[in-house]
Amino acid sequence: MKTYRSLVYRAVHPLNPPKVFALVLFCAFFINDARSVAQTVLHIAAASDLQPVLPALAAAYEAKTGVHIVASFGSSATLAQQLSNGDPQDVFLSADLTHPEQLIAANLATGLHAAKVPTPYATGILVLWARKNSPAQPLNLDSLTSPRVTKIAIANPLHAPYGLAAQRALESLHLTAATKDKLVVAENIGQAAQFVESGNAQVGFISLTTAHSDHFRELGSFVRIPTGSYPPIHQTAVILKSSKNQAVAEAFLAWLTSAETQSRLLALGLDPAN
């Protein structure tokens, strides 16, 4: 009978009191640690040209700090409108200066260290890209006026800074008249790249961040648009005043604009901020 009671006790109480206490402490520590991790999620609204590069930057930052970054991508104008309407983000990484300035003017955002100006973090680079089997090959600026090229992808100049840069480049290079009937307008620079990748356009103006990615380098080739033919693409950032993680957001922008991170941008298809 004693043996039976002993077996029952051991089955119901497999741990002795010290072990139970240790398990309780471990669970409490795990729960607190999970809460701490949840508090270090940073939400970023990012311009479409950053879609090929922000995941790599986010992974590097998470490895360094433990902060997990969740990004939403779109044209700078669309994102700015969403933020104006209360989209809950912490940081806005725009592909221009104008839209962050508008958010600051509306008292919705601030720069690094509560500055009243956006924080420059990179300079964008515009390129012309085509698939290897495109009739635009061998690719150069003359491809734009070739009779074999009937569709040229471009991001919407009204919404996308890279689209505006492409429009200005066409004007500067005196190619507007020769290309106006060929243009296929995309919502943002990422969609412009999709148009050319899918073959719905034979050539397109896209960001170097996309053209420089392994996938696009394998699929096609690119030529850089002369930088003097379009205004500099000053990419700037702001921190949303509605953010509950402003200190975390400031730390991220400080890291993004640090000399170490800026030196990495060249390999990702961006020039450092001027």
Task: Output the average pLDDT for the chain.
Answer: 89
Give buried/exposed letters for 213-252 (b at 16+ CB in 10 A, else e). Answer: beebeebbbbeebeeebbeebbbbbbbbeebebbebbbbb
Q: What are the tens digits of pLDDT across the range 20-54?
A: 444 444 444 444 444 444 458 999 999 999 999 99
Q: What are the tens digits of pLDDT across the range 147-185?
A: 999 999 999 999 899 999 999 999 999 999 999 999 999
Instruction: Say if 40-123+236-268 and 125-229 have the same CATH topology.
Output: yes
Class at the top of the CATH hierarchy for domain 40-123+236-268: alpha beta
Most confident of 1-10, 18-27, 34-43, 83-92: 83-92
Q: What's residue 274's pLDDT?
A: 76
Dihedral angle sign, alpha carbons of residues 154, 156, 160, 166: positive
Residue 2 has pLDDT above 70, yes or no: no
Q: Strands 126-131, 220-224: parallel, antiparallel or unpaired by DSSP? A: antiparallel
The full length of the chain comes to 274
pTM score:
0.84
Class at the top of the CATH hierarchy for domain 125-229: alpha beta
Residue 89 has pLDDT above 50, yes or no: yes
122's enclosing H/E stretch is strand 119-124
Q: Where are the domains of the chain?
A: 2-36, 40-123+236-268, 125-229
Q: What are the tens digits of pLDDT across the range 120-136?
A: 999 999 999 999 999 99
More confidently predicted of 98 and 1: 98
Residue 224 has pLDDT above 50, yes or no: yes
Query: By three-state DSSP, how is residue 98 classified?
Result: helix
Residue 19 has pLDDT above 90, yes or no: no
